[in-house]
Structure 1
Amino acid sequence: MYYFIINPRSRSGYGAVIWDKIQHELESRGIPYEAYFTLYKKHAARLAHELEDRHHTCTIVVVGGDGTVNEVLNGLTHPARITLGYIPTGSGNDFARGMGIPFDPAEALSLILSSHAVAEMDIGTLKTRYHTRCFGVSAGIGFDAAICHEALASPIKDTLNHLGLGKLTYVGIALRQLFLFKPCQARICLDKKQTLHFPRLYFAAAMNQKYEGGGFQFAPGAKSDDGKLHICVVGNLSKPKILLMLPTAFWGKHIHLKGIHMFSCRQIDIHTDRPLPVHSDGESCGYADSISLSTASEQISVITPG
């Protein structure tokens, strides 16, 4: 039995269109399934929790974007009991990109129904004074989170999604935020051992996957099953240099540039001299001047090409 959690509003309604095709395929092949539709923010978390509580072990298939996957992860109490399938319908799809899952919904469904291959994936944990959130792709503080915050409320995003140009939303917002954002002083502690000081921090991204932000390869060396977070810290750079740096991140070449710092650890604590935007898998977690990021004790099994 497959349990589908569907976000029909992902990519401005694209999720509902894709689900109609998936449902037709499931019924034509006589595949047993149950479908649950998200009706409000964080509903996917509640649905995932109820399925886990009811069935103990089961296969949950997410039809949505990275934010829907994030909600499902946050709804699970014992993720090691769950097998996760994913059919991407979002505009960024960094989770699918990082796990090697096909972007084409028909191919992703075929993989789920035919594959016996699973990959164990770490789950990251973000803690602030007010929130504790899990993440599958990345979490961070600063400039990249500011882009996420604005994109979630952008009236232009729906229009560009309908045109298949959703990524342009992030490009435009990134340019605007780069002009507005003021770097701050930060203290970063790795595994409670090494403390680093940054007089001009733009952002710090804790990566569980290689990609975030719709294909930026901020952590080209990241492995989602090694029990570590791969940290990309951007500081002590001028804004023109950051503008030049961003395109190189699509190929992971930014790591060779001065002002880009890469680390690998199990826990990172970040303290800034003023509250900055915080995100978890692109979802807003408000503002904070102190966050802690680590890997959870349990992994989750994800259906992959093998």
Structure 2
Amino acid sequence: MKYFIIINLHAGGDNAKKVWPAIQRQLAASHADYQTLYTAYPNHAIELSEQILDELDTTSPADAVLIAAGGDGTLHETLLGCQRYYQAHPHDHQVPTAFLPVGSGNDFARGLKIPLKWENALADILSGATSKIINVGHYVDLDHHLEGFFTNNLGIGFDATVVHLANKSSLKTHQFFGKFSYMAAILNVIIHFQGFHAEIQPANVPEVTFDNVFLLTTTDIPYFGGGINIVPTASVFDDHLDLVVVEKPSLWQLILFISMIFLKRHLRLKFIHHYHEKELFIKTNGNRLGQIDGEELGARSYNLKLNTIKYPFWVR
């Protein structure tokens, strides 16, 4: 087996750089045949994964696995590059992707029960014998005729605003204090966030309108925000997406929401709406911040069609 490792050494507040020598030692001890490519700037993993697949198409090795080593953002870019390549080469054999979690959030790893300790995750990758088909989130921007993919979730509103404020914080890249940037951002958003208008249409179901949305998240896994179990039943092995709409809560409702999350019963609350669909349409008005797998989409209105596509993943 030949492993192609795309690593973001700055993931997890430079945690990936810290553990990389130990990863190399474990690879050597396992006599792994591998090649390493290092990301140097945002979206570089997209280019690197396309480059790898293009070279593989030329050399045609019998077995190959592409490993995204970093956080959820690194995995997102790697899979995006793979999807773009296979859209242009629809008849090529799809090379499976694996995830080595050395970032900070690692929600995808939690969702697939990939060990959060990189030593165990790497051992599972190296001992794997075959890939499994997972469902990757897919969206089409109906206004601009663009499309994209997500492994974790696509959010508009609260979570995206938290991501935006946290990314602006000077604490964001600190290995030990990085998590506090999110805590500070969450408090800021809770105090100042203004609800927004959204129209939701599950496939073959009448449109539903919400006038005071606080959080709107479409997810393919149970977790978001670094381990918050937003949809306990979500699974990448299911070809459905889960959409959670939270109408702006009062203070006591917010406290109830947080409390019920720990009990995994928050989806029963009246101001929270949950949809489990193969296809969804979402439309918002006004400039609202969005995020996809923890990466900012900017402030704009959204008119999206969402579904899933299948992709081979190297998971034990």
Give the alignment's TM-score, normalised by structure 1. 0.92
**Which residue identity lines up with residue 28 of structure 1 in the other structure?**
A
String of CA shifts for 1:198-222, please: whole Å, max 9, x gaps.
Answer: 1211121101000010111111111
Gaps of 5+ in 2: 58-62, 88-92
User: In the alignment, is residue 105 of structure 1 matched against residue 118 of structure 2?
Assistant: yes
Q: Which residue of 2 aligns with 1:66?
A: 72
Residue 53 of structure 2 corresponds to 52
Q: How far apart are the structure 1 equivalents of 2:198 and 2:129? A: 45
Matches within 5 A, 1:5-84: 5-56=6-57, 58-76=64-82, 77-78=85-86, 81-84=94-97
> Residue in 2 aligned with 1:226?
238
Unaligned runs of 5+ in 1: none
Counterpart residue type for residue 220 of structure 2: N
Higher mean C-alpha displacement, 99-108 vs 236-245: 236-245
8 Å CA contact 2:98–2:314 kept in 1: the answer is yes
Distance across 1 between alignment mates of 2:162 and 2:189: 7
Q: Could you tell me how far 1:106 is from its partner in structure 2?
A: 0.7
Task: Look up the match of 1:302.
Answer: 313
In structure 2, what residue type is equivalent to 1:106? Answer: E
Amino acid at match of 1:303: W
Q: CA RMSD of the aligned region, Å? A: 2.0
Give a deviation string over 1:242-281, Cα, whole Å, max 9, x none. 2441353245321121201110112222222312111110
Cα distance in structure 2, aligned partners of 1:196 and 1:260: 13
Q: Tell me which residue corresponds to 2:273.
A: 261
1:141-220 counterparts in 2 under 5 A? 141-159=156-174, 162-163=175-176, 166-191=178-203, 193-220=205-232
Range 97-106 or range 49-58, more displaced: 49-58
Using the TM superposition, give the Cα deviation of residue 189 of structure 1 relative to its aligned residue in structure 2, in angstroms.
1.2
SS of 1:122's partner is strand
Give the one of 126, 129, 134 matched to 2:149.
134
Contact 2:8 2:70 in 1 (8 A): yes
Q: Is this contact kept in 1: 2:138–2:306, CA < 8 A?
A: yes
Which residue matches 2:60? none
* Higher mean C-alpha deviation, range 65-74 or range 288-297: 288-297
Look up the equivalent residue of 1:7 and give its one-letter code.
Answer: N
Per the alignment, residue 252 of structure 1 pairs with: 264
Quote the Cα distance in structure 2 between the aligned partners of 1:146 and 1:239. Answer: 19
Q: Is the 8 A contact 1:217 1:251 kept in 2?
A: no
Q: Percent identity?
A: 28
